[in-house]
């Protein structure tokens, strides 16, 4: 079974530029999560989708971050414009959904904002 795929693996941009990350969850997983992990900290949940609907986006900085999950499968996370403090690893995870909440994580995208 293929795992969670993310791309790109690394990205370097200048502040005020925009960037997008892509995630392909495990086939059949209804729930998809985006996390931000700043160096030395635990991951912080940014947004949680159930199929193509948003379940929780309370910690998503909506003035600059946006996410979508078209057709309930792949998802993209966008930052526009980026700030220095957005430098982090962005993790995507998926879980089967109702009744089974263990999450399977992708390798992450390491973003550096200069």
What is the binding site for another protein (CB under 8 A)? 3-4, 31, 33, 35, 41-45, 48, 55-56, 91, 93, 95, 97-98, 101-108
Alpha helices in the chain (DSSP H): none
Which residue, 82 or 91, has its beta carbon nearer to another protein? 91
Q: Which residues of 22-60 are buried (b: 16+ CB within 10 A; e: fewer)?
A: ebbbbeebbbbbbbbeeeeeebebbbbbbeeeeeebeeb
Minimum CB–partner distance for residue 17 and another protein (Å): 26
Which residue, 18 or 51, has its beta carbon nearer to another protein? 51
Which residue, 60 or 82, has its beta carbon nearer to another protein? 60
The residues facing 45 across adjacent strands are 35
């Amino acid at each position: 079974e293929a795992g969670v795929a993310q791309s790109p693996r690394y990205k370097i941009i200048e502040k005020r530029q925009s960037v997008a990350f892509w995630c392909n969850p495990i086939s059949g997983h209804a729930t998809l999560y985006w996390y931000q992990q700043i160096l030395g900290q635990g991951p912080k949940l940014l947004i949680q989708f159930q199929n193509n609907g948003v379940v929780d986006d309370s910690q998503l900085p909506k003035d600059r971050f946006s996410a979508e999950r078209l057709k309930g499968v792949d998802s993209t996370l966008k930052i526009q414009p980026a700030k220095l403090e957005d430098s982090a690893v962005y993790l995507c995870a998926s879980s089967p959904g109702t009744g089974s909440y263990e999450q399977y994580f992708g390798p992450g995208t390491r973003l550096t904002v200069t």
